[in-house]
Structure formats: C-alpha cells, structure tokens
C-alpha cells in the first residue's frame, strides 16, 4: 500500500532511537507533505555528515580534531570525566560545574550484548594516561548495573597502572525539587546511604 521509496524512508526512520514504526510513518508523511522540510533536511544532513567529526583523543564530536575541549588550555588538566556518550558530555558541560577534560566511552559494557572494554573507547583512554597527567577521574556513567560494572572494571584497570589516582563517581540520590514521598525505593535508599553532614 505504501509506495516503495516512502516505505524505505519509514523503515530507516523506525530504526532511530525513540521512533517506533507508527511514529516513523507520521514523520515520513509530515516530511512528504512539506516538500521544503525534506529538501532542507537533506541539505542539513549532508552538511552534518561532511563537517561533524569525532575527536580522536576524547571521542567528543565537533568541527575540529582534536576538539575544542581537548585544545582548551584554560581547562583543568588534572581531572578527567568519563562519560558514556557525547550527549552525557553535553549535559555535564551545561551544568557548568566541571572544568576538566572528558573521555567518551561510546557505550557501557554489557554481558547481554557481548560488549566488553575492548569494544569501547578504552584503549585510547589508557593511551591518554601515558601522555596526559591526570590526578583524578570522575565517572559520570548511568546508575544502571552495566554503568556501574563499567566504572568498576575501568577503575580496576587504571588503579593497577596508576595506584595513586583519585577515583570518584557522581553522587546518587534526590533530584532537585523532588518530594520524598514521590521517590522510588531504590533512589531513596541511595539518597539515604549517600547522606551528607548538614
Ligand atoms: Zn577531544
């Protein structure tokens, strides 16, 4: 029923994160209806694929390699924040609370999907320790089991090579503006365990 080229577009869109087949169909029909959006999108996508590149040092994306963060002399050279993806790097940057450098792993280990440290941007991380002088690592990975396993495995490897390095992870607990009675048991239990002196 759906013309073949349109069906191919729907199939491709459906593979995108957060878009199932029905949403993909809606997006495809919307693009088809407004011919201008389709042409504009085509142009933008072309530009993104030509100009946006991955930093071979940290895994961030940008217009230059190394990226604008790796070449920023004003940042704190002693601290490295390890994140899962570029979107996590953006989130930490938006907080304005971190002025060190980053390393983007490109995922987390997953026994289910057969992803180990070798499949991540881990070898480059070890190389960086040989050439840069980090004194502290902060893990800003998700609070999932896989995220915690990844932090544990990497810190074990790094501690073996550099026993004096200081390693920490993001605090877990109450989000800003949250009500105690609306928090799930897991988060509340983490918040209680991570309580701070008042
Ligand atoms: Zn970089």
Query: Which tens digit of pLDDT belongs to each residue from 87-107?
Result: 999 999 999 999 999 999 999
Q: What per-residue confidence (pLDDT) applies to 35?
A: 76
Q: Residue 152: pLDDT band by 50, 70, 90 thresholds?
A: very high
Output the pLDDT for position 187: 87
Q: How many angstroms from the chain centroid is the CA of residue 129?
A: 20
**pLDDT for the residue 191:** 86
Of 35-39, 41-45, 90-94, 115-119, minimum mean pLDDT range: 35-39
Structure pTM? Answer: 0.87
Enumerate domains of the chain plus CATH numbers.
4-50 (1.10.8.420), 77-169 (3.40.1360.10)
Give the span between the Cα atoms of 170 and 139, in whole angstroms: 6
Give Cβ neighbours of residue 105 (< 8 Å, ≥ 6 apart): 59, 82, 83, 84, 85, 120, 121, 122, 125, 141, 150
CA 69 to ligand 1 centroid distance, Å: 6
- Ranges of H-type helices in the chain: 4-14, 21-33, 35-51, 86-95, 123-131, 145-161, 185-193
CA distance 92 to 102: 10
In this prediction, residues 131-152 reach a mean pLDDT of 93
Q: How many A from CA of 99 to the centre of ligand 1?
A: 14
With a cut of 80, say whether residue 141 has pLDDT above it.
Answer: yes
* Nearest-angstrom CA–CA distance, 119 and 121: 7
**Interval between CA 47 and ligand 1 midpoint (Å):** 21
- Measured over the CA atoms of residue 180, residue 183, residue 189 and residue 191, the dihedral's sign is negative
**pLDDT-wise least confident of 82-96, 147-161, 173-187:** 173-187
Res 186 pLDDT > 90:
no
Cα–ligand 1 centroid distance for 1 (angstroms) = 47
User: According to the model, what pLDDT value does residue 173 have?
Assistant: 83
- For residue 101, how far is its CA from the centre of ligand 1 (angstroms)? 8
In this prediction, residues 68-85 reach a mean pLDDT of 97
| Bridge partners of residue 115, in order along the sequence | 110
């Amino acid at each position: 029923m759906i013309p073949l080229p349109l069906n191919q577009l729907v199939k491709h869109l459906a593979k995108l994160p957060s878009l199932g087949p029905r949403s993909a169909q809606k997006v495809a029909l919307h693009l088809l209806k407004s011919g201008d959006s389709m042409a504009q999108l085509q142009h933008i996508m072309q530009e993104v694929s030509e100009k946006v590149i991955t930093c071979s040092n940290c895994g961030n994306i940008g217009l230059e390699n190394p990226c604008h963060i790796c070449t920023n002399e004003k940042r704190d050279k002693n601290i490295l924040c390890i994140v899962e993806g570029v979107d996590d790097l953006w989130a930490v940057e938006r907080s304005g609370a971190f002025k060190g450098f980053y390393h983007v792993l490109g995922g987390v280990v997953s026994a289910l999907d057969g992803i180990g440290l070798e499949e991540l941007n881990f070898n480059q991380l070890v190389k960086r320790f040989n050439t840069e002088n980090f004194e502290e690592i902060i893990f800003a990975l998700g609070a999932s089991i896989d995220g915690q396993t990844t932090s544990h495995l990497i810190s074990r490897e790094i501690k073996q090579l550099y026993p004096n390095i200081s390693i920490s992870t993001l605090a877990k607990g109450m989000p800003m503006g949250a009500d105690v009675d609306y928090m799930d048991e897991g988060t509340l239990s983490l918040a209680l365990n991570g309580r701070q002196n008042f």
